[in-house]
Amino acid sequence: MPMLLTIRSLSKSFPGARALDQVDLDLRAGEVHALLGENGAGKSTLIKCLTGAYRRDSGEIRLDGAAISPGSTSEAQELGIGTVYQEVNLLPNLTVAQNLTFGREPRRFGLVNGRAQREEARRMLSGYGLDIDVGRDLGTYSVAIQQIVAIARAVELSGKVLILDEPTASLDAEETRMLFGVVRSLRDKGLGIIFVSHFLDQVFELTDRLTVLRNGQKIVTEETARLDRVKLIEHMLGRELAEVEDAERRRTDPEAKNRSELIRFENLGRSGLVQPFDLAVHRGEVIGLAGLLGSGRTETAELMFGVRAADSGKARDENGDVACGNPREAIGSGFGFAPEDRKTDGIVADLSVRENIILALQARRGWANPIPRAEQDRLADAYIQKLDIRTSGADKAVGDLSGGNQQKVVLARWLAMNPRFLILDEPTRGIDVGAHAEILRLIHQITGEGMSILVISSELDELIAVSDRIIVVRDRKHVAELTGDDVTTGAIVRAIAADDGAHK
């Protein structure tokens, strides 16, 4: 069968990182093709190269046999490649009809003909099973309807290839079903559809074939029906069950079970985010949180630290209730949280290493009670030495440091607060292998001093290496807890992959 879209040896590099390495992809007309991979696997880069947002470094893209090289989103659109993103890229303050016909409004005597515009919009929406008033603002409709309107516009403008980038991330089950109906009918009309999602159930339900990317490389392209969940997750995480049983493992402290309890989270949860869970944290313990992207692992941390308000449950320690309803309270209760995206949520790039380290400490003291400069210098120098932060001085801007050293600065900030419970979300994301090992060594060192840590990571090896205990999260539920000899990559992958029926 002739391919609608073929990609050969596509490569794209950014300073310091090879985002795509010789990637091949074939898309047939009339198929839904899933594109899978963890964060940083290269999915978004590939899509941006297709839609003209990025220029590829090398490789070839052919559409209907002809080589193409779109330089902008609109150029890609004219060639026949339309994209619908997770956040609807339409204007909520315009009417549905205006959004659908934007740039091609029917006109009479130079003025937009509103009646013809609404008729055109209704024609475009016919076949999508939507019976809505196209004269109303798009923003008054649900995200699902906005999503379908966006699809209708993309199909009308391009009509050959439709890229759906996490279209279901903010939809509920009923809405997802509605969206899938639309996608299937478009497939039957002969469109080639690329479907990006991290909901594996949806991938199995909707797609005909799938391609897995990892670390910028194509790992496999396969008929969806010929893969099972375990195999798929192995591809995504890059682990073969057989080879991992002997992965290096933190020596579990036999005393661990006898260590006293530090904090107990009871029935903590928020509907739509994470189902209520119980979790007891012991002194000096490292808890690993494993799960795929979007499974609820980061959300669990956000609930604990009060970044998002929980609608049920509470935290308590030996002295009674612990306040953690918002980050300020959580910090007051001795919690710390180093978030996943260091660049946007962690460091303040323009401030110096010293200022970044004392930031949280100063915030706790209040602005009226500044930390004396001598004390600041002492703290900064102490942590630069202790964590081996490679910087020419405490007054260098953090933005100039390498990723690993930035991460250490974030770590130093929380250690300066001397918390009793520290949450690290993807502490080794985007840093090189050497720094990687150092961060892990630091985690061991910290817990040796009595602090408790919760680590979230997609790198199973890393989790296994540092954790005393691993909680597996799937579909926004805490589904399994692994301790002692059960902590193996195989067990984690099986727990992530298990269907609801099989694993309750």
Partner 1 sequence: MTANARLYPLFATIAIFIAAYAICWMQFPYMLSTRVVGNLLTDNAYLGIVAVGMTVVILSGGIDLSVGSVIAFSGVFISVVLRDTSLHPLVVFALLLSVTTAFGAFMGLIIHWLAMPAFIVTLAGMFLARGAAYMLTIDSVPIDHAFYEFIKDSYYLMPGKGRLTVIAVVMLLSVAFGALIAHRTRFGASVFALGGGVQTARLMGVNVGQTTVLVYAFSGFMAGLSGIVFSIYTGSGYPLATVGTELTAIAAVVIGGTILTGGAGYVVGTLFGVLTMGLIQTYIVFDGTLSSWWTKIVIGLLLLLFIVLQKGLLKLTGTQRDAALA
Residues at the site binding partner 1, with contacts judged by CB under 8 A:
73-74, 89-95, 98-99, 102-103, 105, 107, 110-112, 114, 133, 135-137, 139-145, 172, 175
Looking at the Cβ atoms of 111 and 374, the one nearer to partner 1 is 111
Place of tokens 């009670």: 369
Q: Is the dihedral of CA 377, 379, 382, 388 positive or negative?
A: negative
- CA nearest to 4, candidates 47, 79, 49, 62: 62
Q: Between 144 and 287, whose beta carbon lies closer to partner 1?
A: 144
> Helix %, strand %, coil % for the chain, to 5?
40, 25, 35
Residues linked to residue 128 through DSSP beta bridges, in sequence order: none
Cβ closest to partner 1, residue 34 vs residue 134? 134
- Alpha carbons within 13 A on the beta-carbon side of 36: 31
In angstroms, give the least distance from the CB of 50 to partner 1.
Answer: 15
Q: Are strands 469-474 and 421-425 parallel, antiparallel or unpaired?
A: unpaired
Q: What is the enclosing helix (H) or strand (E) of 47?
A: helix 43-50
Cα-only R_g, the chain: 25
Q: Which residue has the tokens 């020419």?
A: 392
If we measure between CA atoms, which residue out of 196, 197, 220 comes closest to residue 23?
220
CA distances to 48, 68, 76, 158, 237 from 71, in Å:
10, 10, 7, 15, 33
Nearer to partner 1, 1 or 111 (CB): 111
> What's the closest the beta carbon of residue 133 comes to partner 1, in angstroms?
6
Q: What gap in Å lies between CA 500 and CA 345, rounded to an integer?
A: 34
Q: Cα–Cα distance between 491 and 319 in angstroms, integer? A: 36
Spatial separation of the C-alpha atoms in residues 390 and 281, rounded to whole Å: 33
Q: Which residue lies nearer to partner 1 by CB, 175 or 381?
A: 175
Three-state SS for 327? helix
Site of tokens 């939507």:
130
Least separation in angstroms between CB 145 and partner 1: 8
As measured in angstroms, the least distance from the Cβ of 194 to partner 1 is 18
Nearer Cβ to partner 1, position 88 or 422? Answer: 88
Closer to partner 1 at the Cβ: 141 or 383? Answer: 141
Tell the smallest beta-carbon distance from residue 9 to partner 1 (Å): 29
Q: Report the residue number, 94 or 307, with the smaller CB distance to partner 1.
A: 94
| Residue 95 vs 489, nearer CB to partner 1 | 95
Q: How far is the CB of 91 from partner 1 (least distance, A)?
A: 4
Please choose, from the candidates 91, 57, 76, 19, the residue with its C-alpha nearest in 3D space to the C-alpha of residue 194.
Answer: 76
CB of 47 to partner 1, least distance (A): 14
Q: Which is nearer to partner 1, 162 or 212 (CB)?
A: 162
DSSP structure class, residue 344: I
Least Å from the CB of residue 111 to partner 1: 4
Q: How far is the CB of 282 from partner 1 (least distance, A)?
A: 39
Query: How near is the Cβ of 70 to partner 1 at its closest, in Å?
Result: 14
Detail the DSSP E strand segments found in 378-501.
421-425, 452-456, 469-474, 477-483
